[in-house]
Amino acid sequence: MEAYLLDFTNMLLRWLHVIAAIAWIGESIYFVMLDNSLTPPRDESTRKKGVFGEMWAVHGGGFYHNQKYATSPETLPSDLHWSFWKSYTTWLSGFALFVLLYMTNPGFYLVDPNSNWEWAASMTGWQANVTALVFLLLGWVVYNEMCKRISPNMERDGILSLAVAVLMVAVAYLSTQIFAGRAAFLLTGAVMATAMSANVFFWIIPGQRRMVKAMEAGEAPNPLDGKRGKQRSVHNTYFTLPVVLLMLSNHYSFMYSHELSWVIMSLFIFAGALIRQFFVVMHSGKIQPAYPAAGVALVLVSVWLAAPSGPAASDAVAAAEGPTLDEVHAIVTERCVACHSQQPTQPGFSSPPAGVVYDTPDQLLRQSQKTKQVVTSGYMPLGNMTNMTQKERDTIAAWEE
């Protein structure tokens, strides 16, 4: 019952998280489009009011006329529209999901018992939880310091972007060395998503508040606040596509159970940013297909990289006749069915994870390819909770159904 209620809470939180993220990212994409589509006002009197760009649009049966002020309007309306809750809700619900899903079961969701790093492979549950939180926090601190030091007055944008790209490759590498594959992808996405929300929380909104305050006091707002808000919001734009992919990667074990998963992850991060760049440029009236072409090329490289290699059966097993269905099912019953059953006996599971059930040999047969893949890659049993031996893995790899 308890596991069932947890599952239900998980589903509701995920629902909220996805909706909030759609609203936030949708708005962010809209404002980038708006900013890049602005044209100088046609009307002299509009220009005199301090408007530097405008956009006409038709949507939902009505006509809209957006205007952007070079600095600020003469008087501020009392009903100024602010946006921040979409961002905060996305982060808070995402963090709650992480706690509920990963931090309540760190032993098999966070720890990678096959890690090349001894200390990471032998972390206890709470050590893994603390490491994950520190990882998230450090990601933001390093990114934020980089922005402040490389670009204190919002100049050298190119160098800063390059530094952020290198940082993301480092995050991808470190996460895959320290954590289990699935958590590594999620945490890398979460480092970016945390930077996005923290940019809104620590810089963009406080900067806008200072600008409004200055105007109310009849002073000129500090232009650095506006520039910084813009710089951080441009970073957010390039983070969006990679973050969404990394969050979805959870469903695709071929991505995160690969030995070079950090390279695959990095390729996707750059591909996402390049594809986003195409749309950013397109809204200012230029079509530059080289960007998405480069993005697609990177995706193709990762298709090639992540392709499963042939089953690595040991000579001893390969030389003999392959195992029978019943022999394989006996192994699966011992090592997998605690979780993958219509009625799991493993505490914390109320239903078969990923809908995969191995109660009968027939059910195993229908999922033979996938089963071999997750067993040979070492992804299953999760955290090797059930102590599957290498010989058993080799036997399943050599199985010709």
Residues that bind ligand HEC (CB under 6 A): 108, 182, 250, 253, 332, 335-336, 338-340, 346, 353-354, 356, 370-371, 374-375, 380-382, 385-386, 388
Q: Name the minimum Å distance from CB 355 to ligand HEC.
A: 8
Q: What is the identity of the amino acid at 22? A: I
Q: Name the minimum Å distance from CB 185 to ligand HEC.
A: 11
Q: Name the minimum Å distance from CB 280 to ligand HEC.
A: 33
Residue nearest to ligand HEC (CB): 336
The two structure tokens encoding residue 64: 């809209």
Residues 246 and 189: beta-carbon distance below 8 Å: yes
Our CB check for ligand HEC shows the closer of 26 and 348 to be 348
Q: Name the minimum Å distance from CB 25 to ligand HEC.
A: 23
Q: Name the minimum Å distance from CB 182 to ligand HEC.
A: 6
- Contacts of residue 120, Cβ cutoff 8 Å, sequence gap at least 6: 111, 112, 131, 177, 178, 179
Our CB check for ligand HEC shows the closer of 208 and 249 to be 249
> What's the rounded Cα separation, in Å, for the pair 77 and 64?
18
Distance (Å) of CA 146 to CA 164, 232, 272, 389 = 8, 12, 22, 45
Our CB check for ligand HEC shows the closer of 195 and 331 to be 331
- Whose tokens are 């990679």? That residue is 242
Q: Respond yes or no on whether the N-terminal peptide bond of residue 289 is cis (omega within 30° of 0).
A: no
Our CB check for ligand HEC shows the closer of 71 and 124 to be 124
Q: Which residues of 25-49 are buried (b: 16+ CB within 10 A; e: fewer)?
A: beebbeebbbbbbbeebeeeeeeee
Residues 142 and 169: beta-carbon distance below 8 Å: no
Our CB check for ligand HEC shows the closer of 288 and 324 to be 324
Within 13 Å, how many C-alpha atoms sit on residue 324's CB side? 3
Our CB check for ligand HEC shows the closer of 226 and 381 to be 381
Phi/psi at 381 (nearest 5 deg)?
-60, 145
List beta partners, residue 56: 65
Our CB check for ligand HEC shows the closer of 284 and 360 to be 360
Q: Name the minimum Å distance from CB 63 to ligand HEC.
A: 47
Q: Is 231 exposed, middle or buried (0-12, 13-18, 19+ CB in 10 A)?
A: buried
Our CB check for ligand HEC shows the closer of 21 and 328 to be 328
- Cα 62 to chain centroid, rounded: 36
Q: Name the minimum Å distance from CB 362 to ligand HEC.
A: 15
Q: Name the minimum Å distance from CB 256 to ligand HEC.
A: 8
